[in-house]
């Protein structure tokens, strides 16, 4: 849920990268962190195991354009992908304004993709949110690898519901479509804010 601070003239949105275990959620955030000038972002905070698995979340604040004189801040989080951390995922997802689902395109990861996709819907439902009502983008990551599923197959698996999500083939390792994914979600979140929230009308003249 957008947080508006009239004193600091800031509107803050929470974006959450969810997805398949080891699909590349943290790699997305690392690339975003490297690609944004230091003045426009904070530090990337990660809590990981010795094997670099996300334990709790990764966190990166990013400042961007303004809404009628208000600075816009995106708080970007990842969740831990490992199956056992469902409760943590549910907690990190709370209050989210939008989600990116990072799928792993490798052919042998389809079952994990599906389980993670169903888990996301369950975690959101436990928070009283339907995925259909939330700005969301599907990223098919690891397209640089040789043994990947065709995009139509990934879409059939993860994106054949009544609401078709924007889809981005990507490589978080090379950076291909990492910012395109983030921008698509940010645009949808801002669009939703402008059309579904009374705040712009209540801003001081
Ligand atoms: N070839 C390739 N490797 C990738 C890509 N994205 C991530 N990886 C690798 O995949 C592994 C897992 O990436 P992470 O970003 O840690 O995955 P994650 O989704 O954050 O994993 P968890 O937090 O444990 O669920 C790492 O070795 C990454 O370097 C990609 O686009 N291409
Ligand atoms: Mg991670």
Q: Provide the residue ranges of all domains of the chain, joining segments of one domain with +.
A: 3-194
Stronger pLDDT, 7 or 184, i.e. the higher one: 184
Tell the residue nearest (CA) to atom 25 of ligand 1: 81
- The pLDDT, as a whole number, for residue 66 is 62
pLDDT of 197 above 80: no
Nearest bound ligand to the CA of residue 116: 1
* Kind plus residue range of the DSSP H or E element containing 31: helix 25-35
Of 16, 22, 83, best ligand 1 pocket probe by most atoms within 8 Å of the beta carbon: 22
At residue 5 the predicted structure's pLDDT band, cuts being 50, 70 and 90, is: confident
- Taking residues 180-184, report their average pLDDT: 97
- Taking residues 73-92, report their average pLDDT: 94
- Taking residues 45-72, report their average pLDDT: 86
Of 20, 21, 26, 181, best ligand 1 pocket probe by most atoms within 8 Å of the beta carbon: 26
Topology of domain 3-194, CATH: Rossmann fold (3.40.50)
Q: Which of 50, 62, 20, 11 is nearest to 190 (CA)?
A: 11
Q: Please report the atom of ligand 1 found closest to the CA of residue 145.
A: 1
First vs last C-alpha separation in the chain? 24
Ligand 1 centroid vs 70 CA: distance in angstroms? 35
What pLDDT, in 10s, does the model give residues 136-153? 999 999 999 999 999 999
């Amino acid at each position: 849920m957008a947080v508006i601070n009239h004193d600091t003239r800031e509107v803050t949105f929470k974006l959450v990268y969810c997805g398949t275990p080891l699909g590349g959620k943290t790699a997305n955030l690392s690339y975003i962190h490297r690609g944004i000038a230091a003045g426009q972002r904070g530090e990337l905070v990660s809590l990981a195991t010795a094997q670099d698995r996300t334990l709790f979340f990764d966190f990166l604040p990013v400042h961007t354009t303004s809404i009628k004189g208000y600075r816009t801040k995106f708080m970007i989080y990842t969740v831990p992908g490992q199956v056992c951390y469902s409760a943590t995922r549910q907690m990190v997802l709370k209050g989210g304004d939008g989600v990116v689902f990072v799928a792993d395109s490798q052919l042998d990861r389809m079952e994990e993709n599906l389980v993670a996709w169903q888990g996301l819907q369950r975690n959101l439902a436990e928070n009283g949110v339907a995925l259909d009502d939330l700005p969301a983008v599907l990223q098919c990551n690891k397209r640089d690898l040789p043994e990947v599923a065709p995009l139509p197959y990934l879409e059939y698996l993860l994106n054949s519901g009544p609401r078709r999500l924007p889809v981005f083939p990507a490589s978080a390792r090379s950076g291909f479509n990492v910012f395109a994914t983030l921008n698509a979600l940010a645009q949808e979140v801002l669009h939703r804010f402008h059309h579904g929230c009374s705040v712009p009308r209540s801003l001081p003249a």
